[in-house]
Structure 1
Amino acid sequence: MDITMHRDASSDTAADHVTITPSILYFGTPVVLLSTENEDGSFNLAPMSSAWALGQVIVLGLDIEGQTGRNLSVRPDMVINLPEPRQWPAVERLASLTGADPMPEYKRGTFRFERAKFEAAGLRPEPSGEVRPPRVAECPIQLEARAARVRTDATDDFLIVEAHVLKVHADPRIVVPGTQHVDPALWSPLIYNFRHYFGLGPELGHTFRSQTPRNPGRADGLR
């Protein structure tokens, strides 16, 4: 009798893995444009991709020597602006700029000092209600927030900021009419995936806790 040995799918998958040492671990996180207040009363605008939400708290991971970290250590107000995928060129225009003066040694030769960040990115500031830093008018979601805790991470290389959200502004086109909910079929964040920019793909499903179950009659895309 011929007996054939079979491995299950999980065994095949595990056997195909290789061990690697990537330089960064940005495995697909939302891009944030963070506006903060400089020591002279002007405003800094910086892109970042280490942000996640826990209830009404946003946890941010920041460069310990950057201007944003310096600002939040002294002036805790901020706006967490979320761009959409088509705004990636504006984000990239900010990527090589720094508001830190003097410039950190590791940025020299690669970054350029720029105080007028909004203008450099081609973005428009608009007043906030609860904090001094302005919102980015073009971003569909803007979170006014205040740093409740700023500390170094386990390696002392980064700052971990716990920001309490005070007010949420949303483009009405992405809000479910008559509710307080963002429509996940109409909102797509800009995603930073191993230093490349992406948007979201088609919806695959929703969790049992969703308060916005998919309506087949709704049209996809930001209208």
Structure 2
Amino acid sequence: MTALTTRAADKVDARRNQLAESALKTLGELGYARASLREIATNSEFSHGVVHYYFRDKIELIVYCVRYYKARCVTRYDAVVSESTTADGLLDAFAAKLVETLHEEAPMHRLWYDLRAQSMFEEQLREAVTMIDRTLEEMIWRVVTRYAELAGREVVATSDTAYGVLDGVFQQALLALAGGEAAALDRITGQVRALMPLLLGARVVDSAAS
């Protein structure tokens, strides 16, 4: 690939990223079914023609937008993993991060769950949703395994089970928040503290100490 071709590709990627940033707000507000390319363009600084030039249809745009957004999300809990020095501290930091992202980015999370449900019917969405779901599972698994390490215990749950449990808590809180139940955020810390230990087994025996 020549330098000229590389620069041209970079410009296309940059413009697609700009379109994704602009489209995400509309998509988060309207959801998958109600947001058309024209509606997205109307609520952005870009014309319908420009949007259609870079994305052939709504599904391509939405997949790109969610990939773009989730690429930033998958490192959201890395600081929780790297900076926590006690098991209790990790639980508090993890719960606080869940509350923060629910409070600040609820529309994006609603869009994600909307698309995950739609992927059961839209084959074009399925590959991207499956890939993103896997990266989110891996993200949560890093938190769980670090918690087990700090607690001196083994993880007995599988990564998909741990993800299913914690994602369920997150989705329930998001649904309650959408219904105006702000207290749902206050319950998260208690739920995390109750559920995370259930993913672990017996305390690891320190063979060196014994």
Structure (1/2) with the larger helix percentage: 2
Superposition TM-score, scaled by structure 1 size: 0.20
Structure (1/2) with the larger strand percentage: 1
Superposition TM-score, scaled by structure 2 size: 0.21
